[in-house]
Amino acid sequence: MYLHDYLNKIMRVWNAYEGQAVARFLSLQDFHVNEPNLYKENPDAAVSRQLPSPLDEIVSAHLKAVYYLMRADAPNYTEAYRHQTSCIQAVVKLLQQMKEENWILPIMYVVSIDLRLLATKCEQQTNFSKCGEILEKAAESLMSCFRVCAGDTRSSDEDTKRLGMLNLVNQLLKVYFRINKLHLCKPLIRAIDSSNFKDSFSLAQRITYKYFAGRKAMYDSDFKNAEEYLSFAFDNCPRRFTKNKRLILIYLTPVKMLLGYMPRKEVLERYNVLQFHDLASAVKEGNVRRFDEAIRRHEMFFINAGVYLIVEKMKILTYRNLFKKVHQLLQTHQIDMNAFQTALQFSGVEDVSMDETHCIVANLIYEGRIKGYISYQHNKLVISKQNAFPSVVAA
């Protein structure tokens, strides 16, 4: 394909208002990228003769990015990223000029995705003094598009650019999670959750969004919201995407466990996350030794998945279940604290002191896992005669 033919094809689909087709000609993943006749270092003059502004700027910047990516010697990702940034700046100009029209949104989608992928590649290839600097700059470019879309409040519901918000938010969430700037996710999540179009976005986009919003809620210890977001993502993710379902389950499982729902072994087995089975068994038994062993055995898995601190929180549930067994054995609502200390020692916390035992019980009372109070004068835990150990699900 010659440059003249390529530009003619773009002009034809542009005049037909076919946003998806135009976007395909501007994607770095499309087959036209493999056409040597399109590798032009300075295509500006030829492009501006055939295409209107600012489409000509978008296409010129795209072709320059292709040139630096497909060079015979080696790809120059830094230069390709620089031109892709120019490409998205021209897209912002296009969005601002074309008022009350949203058929051009697919162009914004592909240019945004390619910008994020190129920024990631640059981070991997280049030794910058500050890790995440390129991705952060890419996020600023994506935010320019987001502001235009979010600010399009005058168009009708069919033509509004606000329908493109979620695609951009997902790109931004991916960047912020990668560079560990999770505090920047909050306004984006708030914008989508309060949007009138939150149910109008495509299911695929909503699944991606719920996955990231669920992880953010989990890190904020907002487990009820995390469970809602991640359950939506898991339930609606098609079965054939096993890898994605496994990824969601890695975060959904500890969240559900903290809310009192223990996972079934067959589900964990199906998605190869049996690391949680050992934990769930230990929590149910109130076996502190087995819990610590499970954490130690699968430590690297939990750390790499980013859930180590979350699974550590399950220890309080293990204590709760252990102390409930003590209550069931003694059948009294006034339990000597020595009984809890002995139970802890028997369960593997061999060097636990009485002060530490008091501290564990006090935490359980504070979190609503035990209904009662500690009588320091008599060194006893006085528990409620009714429902002394509330259901973990209700707590």
Q: Which of 216, 116, 120 is nearest to 171 (CA)?
A: 116
pLDDT band at 371 (very low <50, low <70, confident <90, very high): very high
Alpha helices by DSSP H, listed for 126-202, are 133-150, 165-178, 185-193
Whether residue 119 has pLDDT greater than 90: yes
So what's the pLDDT on residue 73? 78
**Whole-number Å distance between alpha carbons of 311 and 41:** 53
Return the amino acid letter for 153: T
Between 111-115, 172-176, 281-285, the lowest mean confidence (pLDDT) is in 281-285
Q: Is pTM beyond 0.75 here?
A: yes
Q: Which residues lie across from 383 on neighbouring strands?
A: 372
Predicted confidence at residue 266, as pLDDT, reads 92
Query: Is 128's pLDDT higher than 70?
Result: no
Q: Nearest 5°: CA angle at 288, between 287 and 294?
A: 95
- As a whole number of Å, the end-to-end CA separation of the chain is 65
CA distance 39 to 70: 8
- Cβ count near 275 (within 10 Å): 20
Question: CA quadruple 13, 19, 25, 29: dihedral positive or negative?
Answer: negative
| 271 in Cβ contact with 331 (< 8 Å) | no
- 395 band by pLDDT with thresholds 50, 70 and 90: very low
Confidence of residue 72 (pLDDT cuts 50, 70, 90): low
Q: How far apart are CA 213 and CA 190, in angstroms?
A: 10
Q: Average pLDDT of the chain?
A: 91
Q: Which residue has the higher pLDDT, 125 or 227?
A: 227
User: What tokens appear for 60 in the block?
Assistant: 């010129």
Distances in whole angstroms, Cα of residue 314 to Cα of each of 49, 72, 187, 308, 359: 65, 55, 30, 10, 16
Mean pLDDT score, 16-26: 95
Could you read off the pLDDT of 280-318 as tens digits, one per residue? Answer: 999 999 999 999 999 999 999 999 999 999 999 999 999
**Quick one: average pLDDT of 105-112?**
96
In the chain, where the domains are located: 1-192
pLDDT in tens, 264-284: 999 999 999 999 999 999 999
pLDDT at 160 over 50: yes
pLDDT at 99: 87
